[in-house]
């Protein structure tokens, strides 16, 4: 709640005006039963038509004025609730952009999406309802009780029994349902995750005829969520009937006592009508109060999830006195010093990358090869600082990568990852992701080096060709060449190609490597193909995170059995 108040401060004016106008509306509403009682006791009893008309006009004007105040209050609550939700959504999205791969792995895509959508929408609805009803409902409840005391003390004592009973019921309800709402949010994340996997992997699922299995998987998660939801619904379903039962019992008792009072002359007919109106007001207020409590219980669970994201400190942080190094004197452009890395936050767990050390001079090429899961991509992620090392140092241009600002490091180091990604929009827009000021000439040069210009020339509109979301209208090989071209924009000092030519034929791959050799840049080539890296100045052979070989091709063919097996199996 403290976090929410930080966002509400911006809308102080509306927070004051909205509830205040609702309070005025409630004040006018409370006096309507008294005016109706006067019409019955004075106007109807004496047959004074003019009195009835006068009081009727007062009631009409009161309702019109109350309606005006209500409209203004609704507008204030709408501005505040939507504004707060927008501010939270912007801050969360901004926060997500600072997360390293570690935090993204921890939360998961499905959970992050739900927090940005469902949880924030829950907060938005809660702010709107609280602004409109949180002050109005208690005021109506207390006001109706006080005015009923003024009419007749004996009959009003019923409310002294009614209100404590209702309070106890609502407290029990909150204690019972709060844990379930938190569990429901987690289970909803799981459903979203399964849905996302099915939509993105629909071709694979259909290729293996696994539609029925995925339906069962979704059905199981959906039923699990439903069971929890039903438990909450069962408790919630008892709330309104219990309130009505207690209120109806109180109404019967009220009518019985009021009947006695009328017989002895302690009350008038108008008084009993007013009391019944106040019972209705109290009933509606209690029902609304229960709804507010349900909403608040749900919102507390959502606020907890939102606050968890806000309080998460990214493991990759900018240096305290971050500065851009314009000119650095260095012998080695890239250097690993006894680097160890572990994906788990538990420092006691065995490291995945163990004591890796190597040096790479400018314009040289580093090749990294190894089996699946050997740690090749992990090294690429450590160079680009998507993860921080557990121990040791990664040096770029003789400076620890932690000393660079993230912006400058990613500007000077460009990476093409295993999974090629293109965004919806024109080809030109996709090419300008690295440098928004890139000219068409620079884009064409990059496309030529990546061996993509030949097929781009055949596209209608060429650079204005519209790419579909996820690059669905280009082939795998085309997408890889386009992402390589995008990484070449603005001439990075270090280019990392993480198995980014796997979909290319050997002829195109050979042309690409020759074109890259002509560039004034340092290359890190990660590949499953030994032929792609055999001419590298330094080759690192990995096996399950361990360095089992390091050197040039000829040396490794003599001294590294694993490298020799990989090369021979591919050459034959």
Domain boundaries, the chain: 2-311, 334-571
What are the tokens at 179? Answer: 């844990």
Please state the three-class secondary structure of 350-413 as a single string: CCCEEEEEEEECCCCEEEEEECCCCCHHHHHHHHCCCCCCCEEEEEECCEEHHHCCHHHHHHHE
Both tokens of 473, joined, read 């209208």
What CA dihedral angle connects 170, 175, 177 and 181, to 10 degrees?
A: 130
Q: Which is it for strands 365-370 and 391-396: parallel, antiparallel or unpaired?
A: unpaired
Dist. CA 127–CA 296, nearest whole Å: 9
Dist CA 323 CA 344 (whole Å): 30
Q: Are 122 and 6 in contact (CB under 8 A)?
A: no
Residue 405 phi, psi (nearest 5): -70, 150
How would you class 234 by CB atoms within 10 Å of its CB: exposed for 0-12, middle for 13-18, buried for 19 or more?
exposed
Within 10 Å of residue 328's Cβ, how many Cβ atoms? Answer: 10
Tell me the pLDDT tens digit for each residue of 302-322. Answer: 888 888 888 888 777 777 665
> Measured over all CA atoms, what is the biggest interatomic distance in the chain, rounded to whole angstroms?
119
Structure confidence at residue 113 (pLDDT): 82
Q: How does 492-514 read in b/e, with b if 16+ C-beta sit within 10 Å? A: bbbbbbbbbbbbbeeebbeebbe
Q: Which residue has the tokens 């994201």?
A: 309
Residues of the chain with pLDDT under 70: 1, 200, 203, 208, 266, 320-327, 344-351, 503, 572
CA distance 490 to 383: 19
Task: Single out the residue of 355, 358, 400 nearest to residue 536, CA to CA.
Answer: 358
- Return the half-sphere exposure (C-beta side, CA atoms, 13 A cut-off) of residue 87: 17
* Distance from C-alpha of 516 to C-alpha of 481, rounded to nearest angstrom: 12
Cα separation, 37 vs 44, whole angstroms: 10
Q: Which fold is adopted by the domain 2-311?
A: ABC transporter transmembrane region fold (1.20.1560)
Backbone angles phi, psi at 492, to 5 degrees: -65, 150
Strands 334-341, 391-396: pairing is antiparallel
Pick the closest to residue 465 from 430, 441, 435 (CA basis).
Answer: 430
Q: CATH class for domain 334-571?
A: alpha beta
Residue in 254, 260, 310 with CA at minimum distance from that of residue 282: 254
Q: Cβ–Cβ contacts within 10 Å for residue 33, how many?
A: 24
What is the pLDDT at residue 320?
64
How many angstroms separate the CA atoms of 112 and 93, rounded?
9
SS3 content of the chain, % helix, strand, coil (to 5): 65, 10, 25
Answer yes or no: are the C-beta atoms of 101 and 387 closer than 8 Å: yes
H/E element, 454 = helix 453-456
Q: How far apart are CA 325 and CA 331, in angstroms?
A: 16
pLDDT at 443: 87
**2-311 against 334-571: fold identical:** no
**Residue-wise pLDDT tens digits, 458-494:** 888 888 888 887 777 778 788 888 888 888 888 888 8
β pairing state of 538-543 and 365-370: parallel
Terminal alpha carbon distance of the chain: 67
């Amino acid at each position: 709640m403290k976090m929410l108040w930080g966002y509400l401060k911006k809308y102080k004016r509306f927070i004051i005006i909205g509830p205040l106008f609702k309070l005025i509306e409630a004040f006018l509403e409370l006096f309507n039963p008294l005016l109706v009682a006067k019409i019955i006791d004075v106007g109807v009893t004496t047959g004074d038509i003019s009195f009835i008309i006068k009081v009727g006009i007062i009631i009409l004007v009161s309702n019109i004025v109350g309606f005006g105040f209500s409209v203004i209050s609704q507008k204030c609550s709408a501005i505040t609730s939507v504004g707060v939700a927008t501010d939270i959504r912007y801050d969360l999205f901004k926060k997500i952009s600072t997360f390293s791969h570690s935090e993204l792995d921890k939360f998961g895509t499905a959970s992050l999406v739900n927090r940005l959508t469902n949880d924030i929408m829950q907060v938005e609805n809660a702010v709107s309802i609280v602004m409109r009803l949180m002050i109005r409902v208690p005021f109506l409840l207390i006001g109706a009780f006080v005015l009923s005391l003024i009419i007749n003390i004996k009959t009003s004592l019923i409310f002294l029994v009614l209100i404590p009973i209702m309070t106890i019921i609502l407290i029990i309800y909150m204690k019972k349902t709060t844990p379930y709402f938190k569990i429901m949010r987690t289970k909803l994340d799981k459903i979203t995750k399964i849905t996302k996997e099915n939509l993105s992997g629909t071709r694979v699922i259909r290729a293996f005829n696994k539609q029925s299995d995925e339906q069962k998987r979704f059905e199981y998660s959906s039923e699990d969520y439903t069971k929890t939801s039903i438990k909450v619904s069962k408790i919630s379903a008892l709330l309104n009937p219990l309130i009505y039962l207690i209120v109806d019992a109180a109404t019967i008792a009220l009518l019985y006592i009021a009947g006695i009072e009328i017989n002895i002359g302690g009350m008038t007919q108008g008084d009993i009508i007013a009391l019944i109106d106040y019972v209705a007001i109290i009933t509606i207020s209690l029902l609304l109060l229960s709804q507010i409590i349900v909403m608040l219980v749900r919102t507390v669970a959502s606020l907890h999830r939102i606050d968890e994201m806000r309080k998460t400190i990214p493991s990759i942080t900018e240096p305290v006195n971050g500065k851009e190094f314009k000119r650095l004197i260095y012998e080695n452009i890239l250097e690993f010093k006894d680097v160890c890395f572990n994906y788990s936050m538990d420092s006691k767990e065995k490291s995945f990358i163990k004591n890796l050390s190597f040096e790479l001079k400018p314009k040289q090429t580093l090749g990294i090869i190894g089996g699946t899961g050997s740690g090749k991509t992990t090294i690429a992620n450590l160079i680009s600082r998507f993860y921080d090392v557990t121990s040791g140092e990664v040096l770029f241009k003789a400076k620890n990568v932690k000393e660079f600002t993230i912006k400058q490091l990613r500007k000077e180091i460009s990476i093409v990852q295993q999974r090629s990604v293109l965004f919806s929009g024109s080809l030109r827009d996709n090419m300008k992701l690295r440098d928004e000021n890139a000219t068409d000439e620079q884009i064409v040069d990059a496309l030529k080096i990546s061996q993509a210009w030949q097929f781009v020339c055949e596209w209608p509109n060429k650079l204005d060709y519209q790419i579909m979301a996820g690059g669905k209208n280009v082939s795998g090989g085309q997408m890889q060449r386009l992402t390589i071209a995008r990484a070449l924009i603005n001439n990075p000092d270090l280019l990392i190609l993480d198995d980014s030519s796997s979909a290319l034929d050997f002829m195109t791959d050979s042309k690409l490597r020759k074109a890259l050799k002509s560039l004034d840049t340092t290359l890190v080539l990660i590949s499953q193909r030994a032929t792609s890296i055999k001419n590298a100045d330094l080759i690192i052979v990995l096996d399950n995170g361990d360095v089992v070989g390091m050197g040039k091709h000829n040396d490794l063919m003599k001294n590294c059995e694993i490298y020799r097996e990989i090369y021979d199996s591919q050459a034959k």
